Amino acid sequence: MSTPATAQNDGAETNVNSIAQSIKETFTSNIRQSGIFIAFIAIIVLFAFLTDGTLLSGQNVTNIVLQYSYILVLAIGMVIVIIGGHIDLSVGSVVAFSGAVSAVVVIKGGQPWWVGVLAAIAVGLLVGAWQGFWVAFVGIPAFITTLAGMLIFRGATYLTLENISLSPFPAEYTRIGIGFQNGLFGGNGYDVFTLVVFAVAVAGYIFTQFRQRAAAVKYNQHVTAMPLFIVKLVAVAAVVMAFSWLLANDRGLPNVLIILAVLVIIYTLVTTRTVFGRHVYAIGGNLTAATLSGVKVKWVNFGIMLNMGFLAGIAGVLFGARSNGAQPAAGNMFELDAIAASFIGGAAVTGGVGRVTGAIVGGLIMATMTNGMQLLGYEQSVQNIVKGLVLLLAVAFDVYNKRRAGGR
C-alpha cells in the first residue's frame, strides 16, 4: 500500500489510496451523500426499535415497497426536473389523468390490460410534450406551466371519469401493482426464486464494480484501497440479501420492485453517463454557460418535461393497479412527496445538483417514517408535521454544509 504522501502526486504510479485516506475521502468527499445514508439507517433503526421490529418484518417491508413505488418513480423524474433548474407541480394531476384514461380504456372500453398501460404512458408523454413545449419553446417558467397543468389535468381527470370512481381493473392489470414473482423454484416457507434473483443482481453489481475499478486503475485514477473496496461490496451485498430474505419470507418478489429497479438503473446511467444527463446538469448549473458551450437548451428542457410526463404515466399505472381503479382525486399531493424526496436526497433548489439514488433514498426516508408512524398509530396530522420538519431540517443541513464549505 502506498503512503498517503505520495498518493496525491499525479504522475506517480501509486494510484491506490491507503485505507485511512480512502475512509476519509469516502466521508468527506460528499458529506451530503453519506449523510443521507446515515440518516436513512438511523431512521430505520429508530423505528425498528420503536415498533419492536414490526417495521422490519417481511410483510411490512413488502408493504412499504408496494405503497411507495409510485412516489419513487415520480421522484426519479422530479430530481431530473430539479437538477435542470425547474420544478413540476402537476405530477399528481398527471398521475390521476393517465390513470383515469387507462381505466376508461380498460374498464369501460373493455380493452386488454396492456392497451390500458400503453394508453396511460401515451397520456403521460403527451402531457410531458405539452408542458415541455411551453417551458422550452415559449419560455414560460416551469413553475407556472405546471401550476396551470396541475389545474388543467385535474379538471381533465374529472371530465374523463365524469366525476365518479371507476373500478375494478381486471386481475392482469392489478398484478402490475400488487402481484409477485415467486414459486418458480419452490422453497420451504421462503421463496427461493426471490433469493436467486437478488443473488444474481448482487453478483452483477460486484462484477461491474470490479470492472469499473479495473478501468479506473487503467486510466491512472485514484481508487479506494482494496480491503475497503471489498468491505464496501460485502456490506452492500449483505444489506441487499437481508432485504431479499425479508421479501422471500413474505410473498416473494413484487412486480413493482422489478419495474422500480429497472428504472433506477436506467436513470442513474442516463444522468451520469449520457450526453443528455450531462446537459441537464449543465443548464441547471449555469444556463448561459451551457448555451455558449453548444448545449441545445430548448431540446434538453423539452426532454426533461417529456420524461417527467412519461414517468408520471408509469406512476399512474402503478397507482391505478394498486388501488384497483381510478378516482377523480387520485394522486393528490404526490408532487409534494416527489419534490420533498428530491430535496431530502440532496438536490439543490437552484438546480445543477442532485442524484437519482439520492432522490430514491430521500423517498425511502419519507416512506419509512410515514410507515413507522402509521405502525405506531400516529394520526395523519402528526405525520404531516414530522415530514415537514424532516424536509426543513434536511435542506437546512445542506445549506449549513455549503456555508461551511464555501466560507472562503
Phi-psi label, residue 334: left if phi above 0, alpha if psi -120 to 50, beta otherwise = alpha
**Which listed residue (5, 13, 164, 294) binds another protein by CB under 8 A?**
294
Q: Give the shortest CB-167-to-another protein separation in angstroms.
A: 41
Closer CB to another protein, 9 or 167, in the complex: 9
Are the C-beta atoms of residues 47 and 35 closer than 8 Å to each other? no
Tell me whether residue 151 or residue 269 sits nearer to another protein (CB atom). Answer: 269
Give the residue with the Cβ less far from another protein, 245 or 299: 299
In the complex, the smallest distance separating the C-beta of residue 220 from another protein, rounded to whole angstroms, is: 7
Q: With binding defined as CB under 8 A, does residue 281 bind another protein?
A: yes
Residue 169 interacts with another protein (CB under 8 A): yes or no: no
Q: Does 34 bind another protein (CB under 8 A)?
A: no
C-alpha cell at 173: 392489470
Q: Residues 13-50, buried b or exposed e (16+ Cβ, 10 A)?
A: ebbbbbbebbeeeeeeeebbbebbeebbeebbeebbee
Q: Which residues contact 178 (CB under 8 A, 6 or more apart)?
A: 66, 254, 321, 322
| Interaction of residue 403 with another protein, rule CB under 8 A | no
- 347 near another protein, judged by CB under 8 A: no
The least distance separating another protein from the CB of residue 217, rounded to whole angstroms, comes to: 10
Long-range contacts of 382-388 (CB under 8 A, 24+ apart): 387/340
Comparison of 106 and 348: residue with beta carbon closer to another protein: 348
- How many whole angstroms separate alpha carbon 208 and alpha carbon 221? 17
Least distance (Å) between residue 136 CB and another protein: 15
Q: Copy the grid coordinates of residue 227.
A: 480491503
Paired strand residues for 41? none
Q: Is the peptide bond before 168 cis (omega within 30 degrees of 0)?
A: yes
Q: Does 296 bind another protein (CB under 8 A)?
A: yes
Q: Which is nearer to another protein, 30 or 332 (CB)?
A: 30
Task: Determine which residue in the list 85, 352, 358, 363 makes contact with another protein, applying CB under 8 A.
Answer: 352
Q: Is 130 exposed, middle or buried (0-12, 13-18, 19+ CB in 10 A)?
A: middle
The reply on whether position 377 binds another protein by CB under 8 A is: no
**24 scored as a contact of another protein (CB under 8 A):** no
Q: Does 292 bind another protein (CB under 8 A)?
A: yes
In the bound state with another protein, the residue whose beta carbon lies nearer, of 294 and 377, is 294
* Residue 211 binds to another protein (criterion: CB under 8 A): no
CB 155 within 8 A of CB 164: no
Nearest approach in angstroms of CB 378 to another protein is 38
Give the nearest distance from C-beta 28 to another protein in angstroms: 10
**Spatial contact of 205 and 236, defined as CB atoms under 8 Å apart:** yes
Which span sits near another protein by CB under 8 A: 16-24, 212-220, 243-251, 324-332?
212-220
- When asked if residue 13 is in the footprint of another protein (CB under 8 A), the reply is no
Number of Cβ within 10 Å of residue 302's Cβ equals 20
Amino acid found at 314: I
Q: Is 274 in the site for another protein (CB under 8 A)?
A: yes
Q: What does the alpha-carbon distance between residue 13 and residue 1 come to, in Å, rounded to a whole number?
A: 12
How many residues contact another protein, by CB under 8 A? Answer: 36
Q: Does 9 bind another protein (CB under 8 A)?
A: no
- φ, ψ for residue 188, nearest 5 deg: -95, 90
Q: Which CA distances in Å does 273 have to 82, 283, 358? A: 18, 16, 16
Among the listed ranges 65-73, 102-110, 112-120, 214-222, the one in contact with another protein (CB under 8 A) is 214-222
Looking at the DSSP bridge assignments, the partners of residue 254 are 180
Q: Which residues in 218-257 contact another protein (CB under 8 A)?
A: 218-221
- Minimum CB separation of residue 76 from another protein in Å reads 19
Decide: residue 209, CB within 10 A, 0-12 exposed, 13-18 middle, 19+ buried. middle
Least Cβ distance, residue 267 to another protein (angstroms): 14
Binding site for another protein (CB under 8 A): 8, 10-11, 29, 215-216, 218-221, 272-276, 278, 281-282, 285-286, 288-296, 348, 352-353, 404, 406-408
